[in-house]
Structure 1
């Protein structure tokens, strides 16, 4: 096998599996670990894979630059609409407390909240707060702190201190990535700290994330997969990913109605 052929095969394997170790790749292609490391260096430089300690992950699995709310809002919009509609099945009937994390999918969940359902809603999202402020049945609590322009979310110690005093019935959490090994993750450390506090504050955690987030790993992990009660995603999630998550105790709900 020529080096170029081996490198293409290595890239295909890592992308399919989500991660592979140097030793695993060396055994698979009957070459030395030094050869594998050289191959990974070539693939990393080409932007196909990212080298990590002991192996490699797909380039798409690590993101340090976040797209803005406007860009994310139009990405996979139909899937997010279906997820938001399915999330209403988990919304308490009356008199409950709900945490709404910042995010374009959770914004859609906020838009689906019935105007006649008495709820206490806590959020760190400026757009969600603006949307729910005029809903008469919602008692809105807005977390303070510095607002990140890219996500329009309040972050920092002020928000975390308040969250640490709360216990809510249900939290709808957004995430940039979800995997068994790295849990829920996001690119920003401050955003991760607030999300972590939200997960701690909730009796029941529902993650709302389209299937493109599944199997990915981002910079900062803010919760282990075992902290997730339910994942609401779309029908494009693979059978393998669904099985792996279910084996970890996560209920996986696939929102239908998407072509």
Structure 2
């Protein structure tokens, strides 16, 4: 196993179990404890875990949220597959809403440049990516920009989204579970995501497998308000089945 694969395995375990221990990882991954400690140091420098005595805890458990630059490099292939599958939900000529997030940015990159679309977004990266396309009309939602996600939040954003309705809303999430639905670490971000969901005639959630089965601090909406969940093949089959039983169509890329 190469170092990047090992790092992803350690991160997945930390998020699934709430923490990881050096001794257990060394045994399971068949490497020395020193190698595991170096791996944890790398993940800590990337802002993904916090080292503790004998192991590490994912930052999400500490109420922390990785920044955009960190998240862009994670699960790149999985996010690309999710975005490609999400293209099937984009209307030929209509309106869509793109949430902030690295997977929605991938979807924005893949949108056909010649397709006439109205795109509503509160994401600075998404707006910047699409603004120069002649066939695309970009409606940028204003507000207070969160440096961690580069997304506009707050009362201004909520007021503008109140007057919007689109054909399809593509929404990201930090956590996705049967019990609490969509969740995210920040209350202001959760409020805007909720408004995004309510603005879509159809709601499609884009979430890689590390988000499924996780709960974060602030609840967005329940699964009863979601039409489709697109995740990747790494999702636990039992969790995927439980999500589907709760209402939305679950598709694995």
Residue 233 of structure 1 corresponds to 231
Residue 192 of structure 2 corresponds to 194
Residue 126 of structure 1 corresponds to 124
Structure 1 segments, 4+ long, off by >2 Å, are: 45-48, 58-63
Q: Tell me how far 1:226 sits from its aligned partner.
A: 1.0
Residue 80 of structure 2 corresponds to 81
Alpha-carbon distance in structure 1 between the residues aligned to 2:190 and 2:121? 15
Q: Deviations over 1:85-116 (max 9, x none)?
A: 1110111011x110000000000000000011
Q: Tell me how far 1:135 sits from its aligned partner.
A: 0.9
Of the three residues 173, 176, 179, the one matched with 1:178 is: 176
Q: Deviations over 1:212-242 (max 9, x none)?
A: 1000000000111111111111001111011
Alpha-carbon distance in structure 2 between the residues aligned to 1:144 and 1:164? 13
Residue 137 of structure 1 corresponds to 135
User: If the length of structure 2 is used for normalisation, what is the TM-score?
Assistant: 0.77
Q: Secondary structure in 2 aligned to 1:242? A: helix
Q: Tell me how far 1:62 sits from its aligned partner.
A: 3.8
CA RMSD, aligned part only? 2.1
Q: Are 2:143 and 2:152, in contact at CA under 8 Å, matched by a contact in 1? A: yes
User: If the length of structure 1 is used for normalisation, what is the TM-score?
Assistant: 0.75
> Relative to structure 2, which stretch is displaced further, 241-250 or 117-126?
241-250
Q: Are 1:186 and 1:221, in contact at CA under 8 Å, matched by a contact in 2? A: yes
Q: Deviations over 1:135-180 (max 9, x none)?
A: 1111110000111111000011111001111111100000000001
2:64 maps to 1:65: yes
Alpha-carbon distance in structure 2 between the residues aligned to 1:47 and 1:123? 43
Q: Secondary structure in 2 aligned to 1:211? A: coil
Q: Secondary structure in 1 aligned to 2:234? A: coil
Alpha-carbon distance in structure 2 between the residues aligned to 1:60 and 1:244? 26
Question: Where in structure 2 are there 5+ consecutive unaligned residues?
Answer: 1-15, 18-51
1:1-259 mapped onto 2 (5 Å cutoff): 62=61, 64-94=63-93, 96-255=94-253
Equivalenced residue count is 205
Q: Tell me how far 1:69 sits from its aligned partner.
A: 0.3
Find the structure with the greater CA-based Rg.
1
Alpha-carbon distance in structure 2 between the residues aligned to 1:128 and 1:150? 15
Q: Tell me how far 1:250 sits from its aligned partner.
A: 1.1
Q: Are 1:62 and 1:217, in contact at CA under 8 Å, matched by a contact in 2? A: no
